[in-house]
Amino acid sequence: MKEFLKEVEEKEIGKIVQDVFLSKYTTYKVGGLASVIIYPKNQEKLVSLCKLIQKHRLKYKILGYGSNLLFSDKRYDGVLIKLDELDKIEFIGNKVVCGAGASLMKVSREAAKRSLTGLEFAAGIPGSIGGAIYMNAGAYKSDMGYIVQSVTVLTDDLRIITLTNQEMDFHYRSSFLQKHKDYICLETMIKLVKGDRKEIEKVLKERKERRLASQPLEYPSAGSVFRNPEGLFAGKMIEDIGLKGLTKGGAQVSEKHANFIINKKEASAKDIHDLILFVQDAVKEHYHIELKIEQEFVNWE
């Protein structure tokens, strides 16, 4: 790692942060020490960084806003890459080009200011554009797959190519990138529709009020834990078998919304991990349905 970091510095790839707790970088506010987090200055520097990672045979992961990840409590002995510098947001008519590191919520707000509709569903999702595309983030019966026109990616052999919406293979909380984990989202072109600004802002206001009333936003969480099975609601299933309020250590099944697990009081990553699996097992035993976990478990092997 020392030789690798020396080369990263020599090539002026970007900011380097060493030995930091991942609780500072995830919305669950948990996670062990990360050996190093690197912020490449641009796409070219990212390619250089990936070449060095391959040369030194290091494990790595792209870390967005940490809103859908559950890192373990142990040390992550690899390279975490933050694409915060790739944060371009450029509107061209009814289209917007967004860098992978741009804030999804910010893009949604900027679209509303320009009377562009189509991104209202994203106003309450605290993730990066890259993470949103990877997960095909969505809400209110819409998702990224409806609005993304194309995605520019770095391939596993370090070529920069552009994939069409069809090639991205968007499905419910799924995309091409989840099946090709060595591809890195760099930027996307989103196509929106001209709308009425007052109507868009009215929708945003109503949905914000609904979120505040129905979701435990006052506690660290990663949003919905489980995907909704077809025709059913995971939260209702969990609530109906009496698991609302269930705690393990500092983690709790939210009393406000049963499909949220919250870090109520200094939870460890293991508290949250074990509670998620307990709820999944309980639902399977009762309904004979295995709920799919939306969050990605990292560094648990």
CB proximity list for 107: less than 8 A, separation 6 or greater: 89, 96, 98, 119, 122, 129, 190
Q: Is 173 one of the catalytic residues?
A: yes
Nearest to 14 by CA among 99, 83, 87: 83
**pLDDT for the residue 265:** 95
pLDDT, tens digit, for every residue of 166-196? Answer: 999 999 999 999 999 999 999 999 999 999 9
* pTM beyond 0.75: yes
> By CB neighbour count within 10 A (0-12 exposed, 13-18 middle, 19+ buried), where does 255 fall?
middle
H helices of the chain, where? 2-10, 43-56, 104-113, 129-135, 165-168, 176-179, 197-214, 234-240, 269-287
Q: Which pLDDT score, from 0 to 100, does residue 38 have?
A: 98
- Quick one: pLDDT at residue 49? 98
CATH 3.90.1300.10 for domain 2-81, yes or no, is no
Reply yes or no on whether the pLDDT at 57 is more than 90.
Answer: yes
Q: Of 56-65, 107-116, 204-213, which range is least confident?
A: 204-213
- Say which of 48, 175, 268, 294 is annotated catalytic: 294
pLDDT of residue 140: 87
pLDDT at 13: 98
The catalytic residue among 109, 173, 197, 207 is 173
Average pLDDT of the residues in 57-85? 96
Q: What confidence category does residue 141 fall into, taking pLDDT thresholds of 50, 70 and 90?
A: confident
Q: Which of 103, 108, 175, 224 is catalytic?
A: 224
Q: Where are the domains of the chain?
A: 2-81, 89-199, 216-298
Nearest to 282 by CA among 222, 226, 223, 230: 226
Rounded to an integer, what distance in angstroms lies between the CA atom of residue 178 and that of residue 136?
A: 10
Position 84 pLDDT exceeds 90: yes
Position 236 confidence tier, pLDDT thresholds 50, 70, 90: very high
Domain range 89-199, its CATH number among 1.10.520.10, 3.30.465.10, 3.40.50.800, 3.40.640.10 = 3.30.465.10
The pLDDT, as a whole number, for residue 139 is 87
**Burial class of residue 220, CB neighbours in 10 A (0-12, 13-18, 19+):** middle
Annotated active-site residue 75? The verdict is no
Q: 216-298 belongs to which CATH class?
A: alpha beta
Tokens representing 59 are 């494990």
Question: Does the annotation mark 167 as catalytic?
Answer: no
